C-alpha cells in the first residue's frame, strides 16, 4: 500500500513539473523571447550534445515503443558506446506513399527543410553532388541561450531494394560565426526501403551521447510531439512531391 502511494506521489510530481515547464515556455513565447514554441523545444533537444546515429555501441536493452501516432512509431532502447557510456537510442519508423528520391529531395533542399524540420532558424545547401550534399543549419534558439549551428555532409548509397543515407558533421567545412557554437560530432542514419508501387518504408535512428539538461520524462513530454509532427510533415511534403510527379 505504501509503495502504491509513493508511486502516485511520483506521478503527481512528474505531472506538476511538466505543467510548470510548459507554463514557463509559453510565458517566454508570449513575451516574444521564443518565436517558435515547439521549434525552440526541438532545437534545445537537438543541441543537448553530440549526436551519434550508428557509432560503435552495444545494445543493452530491446526496443520499446514510446508512442504510436499518425501511423508513425517512435521507439527507444538503451545502448553502451565504445567509451562505456550508457545512453538512449531513438528510432522512427513510418511508411510514405512516395519514392526514395522524393524523400531525398526533402532532405537535401533548403526550402523543404524549413517546411518540415522544427527548430531551424536558417539553413542552406553549401555543396551538392549526385550522391552527396552539405548542409548548414542554425538552430532556432532564443538569444538568451547559447547559439548552435551544424555543418553536415550527407552521402547516399543506393542498393537494389533500399537507399541508405548517412550524415556526419563537417565542422571545419566553412567559417564559424562569432558567438555561435558549432557541433563537432553529429551523425544520423536513414534507411529507405522500396516496398513497390510508390511506397517507401522509412527508418531513422540517432543517439544523443550526452545527458539531457532536464530529466528525460520532462524532456520527452516536449520533444515527442515535436518529433512526431516533424516526421509527419516530412511524409506529407514527400507525398505531395510524388503526386506532382505522378498526376
pLDDT in tens, 4-58: 554 554 455 445 544 555 555 455 444 444 444 444 444 444 433 344 444 567 8
Closest CA to 188 of 161, 201, 169, 162: 169
pLDDT at 187: 77
pLDDT at 216: 72
pLDDT at 209: 54
The position carrying cell 555501441 is 57
pLDDT at 13: 46
pLDDT in tens, 13-22: 445 544 555 5
pLDDT at 241: 96
Least confident of 17-31, 34-48, 158-172, 191-205: 34-48
pLDDT in tens, 79-90: 887 778 788 888
Higher pLDDT, 154 or 28: 154
Task: State the DSSP code for 171.
Answer: T
Cα separation, 245 vs 101, in Å, equals: 11
pLDDT at 169: 85
Q: What is the mean pLDDT of residues 126-137?
A: 92
The position carrying cell 527507444 is 76
Tell me how crowded residue 37 is: count the other CB atoms within 10 A of its CB. 17
Q: What is the mean pLDDT of residues 159-188?
A: 89
* Contact indicator for 13, 19 with CB cutoff of 8 Å: no
Percent of the chain surpassing pLDDT 70? 74
pLDDT at 204: 94
Q: What is the mean pLDDT of residues 94-111?
A: 94
Beta bridge partners of 89: 77, 207
Percent of the chain surpassing pLDDT 90? 40
- The contacts found for 160-166 with CB under 8 angstroms, 24 or more apart, are 161/193, 161/194, 162/100, 162/191, 162/192, 162/193, 162/194, 163/100, 163/104, 163/190, 163/191, 163/192, 164/189, 164/190, 164/191, 164/192, 165/104, 165/107, 165/189, 165/190, 165/192, 166/53, 166/54, 166/190
Least confident of 21-30, 69-78, 122-131, 208-217: 21-30
Q: What is the mean pLDDT of residues 216-236?
A: 84
pLDDT at 225: 84
Residues 6+ apart with CB under 8 A from 49: 208, 209, 210, 211
Amino acid at each position: 500500500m505504501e509503495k502504491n502511494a509513493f508511486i502516485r506521489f511520483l506521478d503527481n510530481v512528474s505531472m506538476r513539473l511538466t505543467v510548470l515547464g510548459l507554463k514557463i515556455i509559453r510565458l517566454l513565447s508570449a513575451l516574444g523571447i521564443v518565436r517558435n514554441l515547439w521549434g525552440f523545444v526541438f532545437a534545445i533537444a537537438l543541441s543537448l550534445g553530440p549526436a551519434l546515429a550508428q557509432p560503435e555501441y552495444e545494445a543493452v536493452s530491446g526496443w520499446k515503443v514510446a508512442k504510436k501516432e499518425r501511423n508513425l512509431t517512435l521507439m527507444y532502447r538503451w545502448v553502451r558506446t565504445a567509451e562505456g557510456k550508457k545512453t538512449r537510442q531513438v528510432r522512427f519508423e513510418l511508411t510514405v506513399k512516395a519514392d526514395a528520391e522524393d524523400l531525398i529531395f526533402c532532405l537535401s533542399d533548403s526550402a523543404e527543410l524549413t517546411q518540415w524540420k522544427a527548430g531551424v532558424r536558417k539553413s542552406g545547401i553549401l555543396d551538392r553532388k549526385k550522391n552527396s550534399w552539405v548542409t548548414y543549419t542554425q538552430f532556432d534558439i532564443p538569444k538568451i541561450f547559447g547559439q548552435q549551428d551544424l555543418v553536415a555532409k550527407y552521402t547516399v548509397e543506393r542498393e537494389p531494394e533500399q537507399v541508405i543515407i548517412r550524415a556526419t558533421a563537417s565542422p571545419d567545412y566553412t567559417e564559424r560565426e562569432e558567438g555561435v557554437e558549432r557541433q563537432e560530432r553529429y551523425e544520423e542514419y536513414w534507411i529507405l526501403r522500396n516496398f513497390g508501387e510508390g511506397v517507401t518504408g522509412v527508418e531513422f535512428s540517432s543517439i544523443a551521447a550526452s545527458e539531457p539538461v532536464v530529466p528525460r520524462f520532462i524532456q520527452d513530454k516536449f520533444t515527442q510531439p515535436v518529433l512526431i509532427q516533424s516526421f509527419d510533415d516530412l511524409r506529407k511534403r514527400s507525398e505531395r512531391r510524388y503526386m506532382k510527379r505522378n498526376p
